[in-house]
Amino acid sequence: MKTYIDYAEISQAARRKITSAAVIPRPIAWITTVNENGSINVAPFSFFTMISPSILMVSFVQIKDRRKDTFENILRSKQAVVNIGDISLIEAIDNSSITIPYNESELAYIDVNLGPAKQVMAPLILEAPIAFEVEFLSHEELDDNGSKYDLTLLRILASHINSDLYDSEKHYVRLENPLSRLEGPKYGSSTELEYIRKF
Ligand SMILES: Cc1cc2nc3c(=O)[nH]c(=O)nc-3n(C[C@H](O)[C@H](O)[C@H](O)COP(=O)(O)O)c2cc1C
């Protein structure tokens, strides 16, 4: 037996719960940007994926027509760093989603170290095993039943990978203990990887 749900007949909150419980696991872009006053903004986003080898997609939801600070910073500076965390960073990633006034930094609430990027002003989070320097490519404002989303494409300029996780001859990356977002406050981990095909 199946329960049939017509999306025209349920609330947006119900749609979000159902879709985000089904489309899992979602990777997490832990994005660093520079605020207008030069302080550093850090926040996690799981409406996130790669759409080609060097293009990433992130969707920022507007709350009461207010855009996310991260998105405002990307629009203004045209750049960011997308850090990819692992399980050891779960609390820092979650805590960095705190809502605070613009131009204040989430870094006051999390214990991480920053390092310089090479091509963009935003810093890397050094504890993240992988980080991408990105530039703004394009943006479209989506209307989903009255909720607005800033769908944003970012082009990867460079990556920083912990050297012990990278085979530079084969370009093989071994991300240990990857972290993902599940429904609501749940996070997922996949410590065991299954190979069904040899490349
Ligand atoms: C794991 C996780 C994933 C999230 N994913 C998104 C997302 O994809 N889009 C979004 O708009 N907000 C998302 N949020 C909420 C933002 O992180 C939160 O609104 C944050 O305060 C935004 O910061 P900013 O305004 O400084 O950019 C997520 C939060 C968590 C904890």
Q: Which pLDDT score is estimated for 184?
A: 87
| Residue 11 covered by a domain | no
| Residue 88 covered by a domain | yes
CATH code (residue 96)? 2.30.110.10
Indicate which atom in ligand 1 lies nearest the CA of residue 73: 27
SS3 content of the chain, % helix, strand, coil (to 5): 20, 40, 40
Indicate which atom in ligand 1 lies nearest the CA of residue 48: 8
Domain count of the chain? Answer: 1
Using most ligand atoms within 8 A of CB, pick from 45, 56, 107, 151 the residue to mutate for ligand 1.
45
| Residue 194 covered by a domain | no
Nearest to 117 by CA among 48, 32, 28, 57: 32
Q: Which domain holds residue 34?
A: 26-189
pTM above 0.85, yes or no: yes
| Residue 3 covered by a domain | no
Cis peptide bond prior to 25, omega within 30° of 0: yes
Q: Residue whose CA is closest, atom 28 of ligand 1?
A: 45
Q: Residue whose CA is closest, atom 16 of ligand 1?
A: 97
Nearest to 85 by CA among 74, 73, 96: 96
What residues are in contact with ligand 1 under a 6 Å CB criterion?
28, 41, 43-48, 59-61, 68-70, 94, 97, 99, 181
Could you tell me the distance, in angstroms and rounded to a whole number, from the CA of residue 157 to the centre of ligand 1?
Answer: 23
Q: Which pLDDT score is estimated for 197?
A: 75
| Residue 4 covered by a domain | no
Q: Which pLDDT score is estimated for 191?
A: 66
| Residue 197 covered by a domain | no
DSSP tally for the chain: helices H, then strands E: 3, 13
| Residue 137 covered by a domain | yes
| Residue 199 covered by a domain | no
Per-block mean pLDDT, blocks of 10 residues, the chain (199 long):
98 96 96 97 98 98 94 98 97 95 92 98 98 98 96 98 96 92 90 68
Q: Strand pairing of 166-167 and 79-84?
A: unpaired
